[in-house]
Structure 1
Amino acid sequence: MSKLIAFAAIQGGYKVVAQVEGELEKALQTYDASTKVGFPNTAYYLPVIYSLTGLKVETIEDLKAPLAFARGLLPPHLKLKNWLPYLGPLLDAGMAGVIAYEVKEALRYLNDPDFYIAQEDPDVDNGKLWVGAADDTILRKRGVEFVDGSAPGFAAMVGAAPNKEIAKMIVEDYQKRSLYIFCAANHNGNTIIEQCLDAGMQVGWNTRIVPFGPDISSAVFALGFANRAAMAFGGVQPGDYKTILKYNKERVFAFVNALGDVGTEWGVAAAGCVNWGFPTIADTPIPEILPTGICTYEHVVAPVAHEDMVQKSVEVRGLKVQVADIDIPCAFGPAYEGERVRGADLYAQCGGGKTQCTELVKMADMNEIEDGKINLVGPDLDGIKEGGTFPLGIFVQIAGREFQEDFEPIMERQIHHLINYIQTIMHIGQRDISWIRISKAAIEKGFTLKDIGTVLHAKFHQDFTKIVDKVEVTLYTNPEDVDKMTATARENYQLRDARVDTMKDEDVDIFYSCTLCQSFAPSHVCSVSPERTGLCGAYNWMDCKAAYEINPTGPNQPIEKGEVIDAKLGQFKGVNDFIYKASRGMVTHYNFYSMVHDPMTTCGCCECIAAMLPACNGVMTVGRDYTGDTPCGMKFTTLAGVMGGGASSPGFVGHSKHNITQGKFILGDGGLLRMVWMPKMLKEELKDRIVARGEEMGVPGLFDMIADETVGITEEEILPFLQEKGHPALNMESIVG
């Protein structure tokens, strides 16, 4: 850390303690030693001194002990030629300054009893701007808000902004985040409180803009309020300074905004606040203290532009944004997740094989994005005729101190049910095969595409408070923009899926569940293993593991494999026990590695559906982006309607694209060597992986042996092709048993 800031804080400590010692000596000469001192209407004496040391200050004589204690805390002056870890001396100097400031304010109450007005709000008309220390009535009324979360913390603002407009901008932004604004000190004779009044704002406890006092010493009232809340509502005992300070660091998300030149007296006050875990964010180029230690993150950050002051303060303190309301015209909630938007009710749609609809979540740096910003690039729904279609790309950027790239697919998969929570909006699928249907009723209420961004921003903050600090959403509706985003998204999907390519099911004792789709398929329980990605394609085993770490009570639960019942077909006692409970008794068991014998249940979000082709002694698969006929006699939509409601359907199974080339794909039935037909677009997409898997299974020419729609769309049409190519499925044991 910087020698300069440590030097300034320590110098400030010596200066403040010496000044207050002089004021106390003068008071002792003026008043009798037994003269009562203290803050009005409180049982906490001088609360900082009482809470940290246990000393009960009731008379002028009693002020000697805490001031002597402060003098004892002052560290030696820095020797600038010798390096030292300066944080310890800085903290001691800061605490000495805070204690001295509280003595100073007690003397002010004695010497000028009318300086502060003893009420919640100032009397502006009569020039009584400063309310001073909060009494116990205010503490009981307001302090509980710091416990129940309705007031997550406070911004201690010292000094003044360059003008009233900037002051109003910063203060109102804090109000929107439910923070209190505790104001003290002046800069060149001006204060943030006077600027707020000039800007037409109301100040006082009732508007959470609290005018403590015009001097830096009055900032001690904020620390006193925090410590009293810890004692009153946290059960911390006076004198237990370690617990007091720890409580404030972990429970009261406060910080200092220094607006104006930071001299030695401000410096020691800022250093004192660090003891509480409260960092300082300044608008002037003072030396920074960036390494973590006492505060959650940085201790002093500067210079920060005024338009960035609020967001940077929230970020540095680790305060999580609380979004109470979701401002969209439609009703919102889990009750609407299972709603269908049928043809007669449909206004417009995207995806579902009709247009491209892609979703991507990416991690961003804190400075790259703006929290709450919703961008629409392209036309909105008002440019679409009833019954029309449009392309859509949903790109979400998330920044967070605790956010990791591993969390991207977990957040991405939330888009499915969060959009479904919007009344009369239907969402199916994920990644680059999403399908959204928007009802006429939603349009009549005023629904726009930006409302999707509003929902994602609010719910990501609400549901993932620990890891999310900022969310920005961009919605693309121009075809070229959606195609460009889709190409980027597919690159990301491939990188994510590749993370589990070297893992085997035998390597782990834990599989994971996914029940996100039970709103549409109540009995469906997807089980994800290293060699069987979720049938939606959005989650692999590592994704589910990360999702469980984020949300231990969420839809991705660990499943103990337990006893192996059938190694060939992939049936495990632990999995059976789990799915029986999770399906509410509707499904007793299923096999991981078979589509012929009791396969896994399937929901409508699957990327592909495989079906048995008995005449070819093999299987086919079809992805949802292929709309043509298939050799099993059913299109994808028909297959999904028949067995996509959460049933286990022998001869059929839903799966992801990636799963086709994983080691355990229907291995109990012969594996990929049974694959005799797939759409050309899917086959080409997976070409490299099919070639590699075929070589691994001893059939290097497998890719060229698989038929597609250019060969035929019936078993009779493709069988001669398979015979000509010598497809291995024709020589395997009968698939029908």
Structure 2
Amino acid sequence: MNLSRIIATAAIRGAHSIVRRAEEKLKSAMEILGATHPVELPNTGYYLPVIYGITGRKVTRLSDMEPILALANELLPPLPAETRWTPYLGPVLDAGMATLFAEEIIEALRYATGPSPAGGIWLGAADDVILRERGIEFVDGRAPGFAAVVGSAPDTPTAVKLAREMQQKNLYVFMAGQANGTSFAEQLAAADVQLGWPTRLVPFGEEVYAHIYSLGFATRVALSFGGVTPGDYRRVLLYNKNRVFAFVLALGPVTDEWYATAAGALNFGFPVIADTDIPEILPYGICTYEHVVARVPHEQIVARAVEVRGLKVPAADVEVPVAFGPAFEGEIIRRNATFVEIGAGRSTAFELLVTRPMGEVEDDRVRVIGPDLDQLNEGDTLPLGLVIEVAGRKMKEEFEPVLERRLHYFVNYLEGVVHIGQRDIVRIRVSKKAFAAGLRLHHIGAVVVNRVKAEFGSLVDKVQVTLYTDPEDALAEQEKARAVYRRRDERLGSLTDEAVDVFYTCSLCQSFAPSHICIVTPERLGLCGAVNWLDARASYELKQAGPNQPVVIGTCIDGVRGQYTGVNAAMQRFTQGKITSLSLYSMMEDPMTSCGCFEAIAAVLPEANGIFIVNREYAGDTPLGMRFSTLAGMVGGGEQTPGFMGLARAYILSRRFIQADGGLARVVWMPHQLKEYLKTGLIRRGAEIGVPDLIDRIADETVGTAVDGILSFLEKTEHPALSMEPIM
């Protein structure tokens, strides 16, 4: 029997089994709940995302599943005994797609009828907040791809070793399915390895069907960031093949249902790397890499998968006694697992990065002035002043806070270390395990030296780090640091759009949304909230061919709307002619495009003659009767949608915020949590525009989401929007 027939026989047999199971579960659910019973995955605007992305069909109730299963049956090739075979993958891919439709229905039915896919260590479907937060990491390169692990390692130590290796390569690890009576996720949990999105070790579900959440995540990336239209299945699949670098890691005996699920992944261009002796599939058609690679030893399997898929994994050349990489950024260290704590309001703790003359910096020097960790007792609280002094011919004082903010990531990348806060509100925990492994404060200093030079090498020539742990020294150095913070705030606070002649683009998300480009100005940061004008300028200094390009502002066409000849020319150039005009200060005329990474959405509420703003974390309804996820589908993808706009939360407080449309006084509703987050700034900006109690006049969900109730509240509080010129 040739290899194609072996694989096809197993995959098609598994596909038939999974489709039959979905049909049985749907029939039972309809008998108990009725055909109109609603179905959904939690907190997503993408319905059942694989089905929605591939077919364009919205599954919102049980009866909507019947035509999907009918389509799955049309795709299913006959069972192996009923057909002749040729070395052609078409039937396998069709069987794989039928499998994915059926698996998504099975998992959605579990949410509708129980037991829920989420529970214990299992997380179930990722919601749209997670998609946005984690999707950014695929955009900016912090996550080069993901591994979809099915089955289990031969033993727990091997599982831990493989997981750590993938974490150190910055990969996300999606887990589902069992082999030999256990799963990869259960092996990690047994070894007390932290699971979850923050550590990039994501256990979706106990059965192989739960890998539909891996492919659903990939599908939503195409729809959300790539601007792909639901139902355009060719673009969905090609987008994933070319831009979402993922692979399947099959550990243990491969069953028919594994074959079928893997066939579904092959449609997305995700190869299968296995540790068992299964038939291999060499490069086929336009695909330049192997589809299935077998018999790979565990000590080589991750590296082989990275090689086959062509992932670009950054080297982490830091010599420390614990693992190091972005996967440890979300690690949690409980108090009972903590060896020592720094700061947290119980001791002096701050960090400062400053520029010095070249002769005052001794390159690569790390000093600890005071006790190091091995001179402390478990449970001690330690003061710490982390002072980084840099020198470089291109280094400028205004770049200091940009580099300083990266310290949060550098320290968090150490396994067993948690860093929270910045400036003089820092909190650091070091775990007992990290201390036992040999981690000391001088290692943290060495990491900072290494990463500052690695990431900012075009600016910085020399770096030295001093860690002050003596209480008196730390306190004295903190006062010096606070004086620097005050000078910076004064400089940044006075920087306006009129004060510069160059804005910057940010194209980090163009790999996902080709027609989107951010224009970053001193008074309007990128819509993800992560890139301000100084950041963009520093980025350009670092890499002149990078994502932040200077835009000469040019002639002012309309100062109120924020229309400039240079900006319009840049929009046309960077969006390949799709966007030709941009109003920086309006959401009603030629607004900024959005990719999908925005922190919040602003939308017009005509009845109130104003706008409402909803942040991504808010899961409830909005005054338009739509949740954030639904609105996001209208705003993202690089489209200009007058009356709707993605934005960063901090931009709401800018004096340039929709100034052509009435500015902050137009805001009539926002979630309470967003009001609290922006409270100090809203009070300050309200006073500046002559409405000092504006924050109290803005409705939120405690008032309601129905327009009538909101209007009554606005009339009672005499909200200024009611007396302004019509917004439309």
Point out which structure has higher relative CO (alpha carbons under 8 A, 6+ apart).
2
Structure 2 length-normalised TM:
0.43
What is the TM-score with the length of structure 1 in the denominator? 0.43
